[in-house]
Chain A
Amino acid sequence: MSSPEFKNPVVKWIDHRLPVFSFMHHELHEYPTPRNLSYLWNLGSLAGLALVTMIVTGIILAMHYTPHVDHAFESVERIMRDVNHGWLIRYIHMNGASFFFIVVYIHIFRGLYYGSYKAPRELLWILGVLILLLMMATAFMGYVLPWGQMSFWGATVITNLFSAIPWIGDSIVVWLWGGFSVDNPTLSRFFALHYLMPFLIVGVVILHIIALHRFGSNNPLGIDVSGKQDTIPFHPYYTSKDLFGAMVFLTIFASAIFFYPNFLGHPDNYIPANPLQTPAHIVPEWYFLPFYAILRAIPDKLGGVLMMFGAIAVLFVLPWLDRSPVRSGRFRPLFKMFFWVLLADCVLLGYLGGKPAEGIYVMLSRLATAYYFIHFLVILPLLSVVEKTRPLPQSISTPVTGGGMVSAPAAKRGKADV
């Protein structure tokens, strides 16, 4: 961990006074990273890539967009038809939101499977859940801006959630709206906040990375790094691996943008907002569907709202619900099984959220909602006590080198890497 020697005299002069080059060398070059990370560990850098993409395209869109009820819809159509490459930038931004959520959801389930939320990474996890909450608020407000039918009625339904709060609920909703319905004051404040919040996300992401670099990445075995033979420097090993992952991600992302740009959207949002006519079937964007299903599953307004927010709140306390000392699902046969049930349950909730609230769907939503909470509040605490975990390897390099001890060639290799 010594300070690097820079050959360039200008770099040397600057670094002596402002050690940014040392800092980057420390955190992005020599940063010791477990040698056994799988491709599931690419999702963090991909989320960063998605965030930067959203900020860059968003700032460009803001240059052409008009946050006024009389002009918003038309200004978006103008971006699509008249602004040079406006269609491309808007499609990147629109699909970018979906891809950001895809990446982040995989990132979260990776963390759930490999126990990345356990000591000493509890705060790292909590900051991540906070990022998810900020992303949801940002995505919701962004979806309102084109001022189509789904924008308007989505905004109406979601802001009305707050009216479920006893006594002060109605005043809060009027305060959020700046009027007696979703209208121009609502649109202009959502625009301002939609512009602000990505930068708050950047702030929390920085804290997230500081917390990550304190103890380094978790790994598929979920055991601590025991020495230099277990790690490799971040550059060039993981910079190149992340870059390869980014290329694969961008290929898929570009395919969506160029060939299926409206696949994840709703045709109703290409109809200008009409405050007197609710579309027959309103659904939120796909990434909110599991939460929407939970909201509708409860036959009580306040209860539904509480359960929906509870579905996220439970993630904040997850490190204290799962007390098993073993992190990785690889060595937890029962946990592994329930993990896949939870994943299936979340996918089912997503499916149900997109269906009308009637007949069999209502009952299924209730069962799936119940399982979601039972998983976190009952199964995980119970498993911590009753599960018989499989024996852990002695170190990260043991399964590679065989035997309990690090063999001489492996030790040498480990040294050469550093």
Chain B
Amino acid sequence: MSDTVENQGRRDFIVVATNTMLAVGAAAVIYPFVNQMNPAADTLALSSIEVDISGIEEGQAITVKWRGKPVFIRHRTAKEIELAGQVNMDDLRDPQGDLDRVEKPELLVIQGICTHLGCVPLGQKISEVKGDYNGWFCPCHGSHYDTSGRIRKGPAPTNLEVPPYTFLSDNVIKIG
């Protein structure tokens, strides 16, 4: 018995070292089982598209599908751009200048996914309701977006997201 007391420090070291290695091993085993649920390589490979924007007349909008979700591309009118530029930053829930959200002021490219719970807002077609700020309106829980896709009213916390995109030429953009 007295031996165990003398060697207590060494025994504790063995116990702690064993448990630590067990924890490391367990984490190493669990990781692949958790990570397998993340997007697979083929899903990630589909993550960029090219869009021809030459056919969109002023005041028109098109919807394209990128990574399984709609992207709204809107050729804005001068009045819409003006409206978006005039907004007082203090009135915005998620303050962001209109010019920070576009490459060229006339072309607005945004994710057509409500930042509340992921529904597709209305307002792309002429016949659809555009909400109180003349942009988009989400029918699921009543969020209103302005002509820059910024949240103005309703439960959504942030502005409609701007996806990464670049102009390949004057007529073609690459999203993703």
Contacts and interface: CB of A to CB of B under 8 A. Distances in A.
Chain B's interface size range is 20 to 34
B136 to A, nearest CB: 12
Given A157-B119, A180-B68, A300-B155, 14 more contacts: A153-B140, A156-B117, A157-B140, A159-B118, A174-B38, A179-B68, A180-B39, A181-B67, A275-B69, A281-B139, A296-B155, A299-B155, A356-B142, A357-B141
Contacts of B123: none
23 contacts: A156-B117, A156-B119, A157-B118, A159-B118, A160-B117, A160-B118, A177-B39, A178-B43, A180-B39, A180-B43, A183-B43, A185-B40, A275-B68, A276-B63, A276-B120, A278-B119, A278-B138, A281-B139, A282-B140, A300-B155, A301-B156, A304-B155, A358-B142
Nearest to B35: A175
Contacts of A176: 37
Given A179-B43, A276-B63, A358-B142, A153 B119 contact: yes
B45 to A, nearest CB: 11
A159 B118 CA distance: 9
Given A157-B140, A183-B68, A175 B155 contact: no
A179 B120 contact: no
Nearest to B66: A180
A47 B156 CA distance: 39
Contacts of A301: 116-117, 155-157
A402 to B, nearest CB: 60
A14 B69 CA distance: 61
Contacts of B85: none
Nearest to B142: A357
Contacts of B39: 174, 177-180, 185
A153 B119 CA distance: 7
Interface string B52-84: 000000000001010111100000000000000
A72 to B, nearest CB: 16
Contacts, number: 82
A124 B176 CA distance: 52
Contacts of A356: 142
Interface of A: 153, 156-157, 159-161, 163, 174-183, 185, 189, 275-278, 280-282, 296, 299-302, 304, 356-358
A185 B68 contact: no
A180 B142 contact: no
Nearest to B113: A181
Contacts of B47: 180
B139 A277 contact: no
B139 A278 contact: yes
B131 to A, nearest CB: 13
Contacts of B140: 153, 157, 278, 282
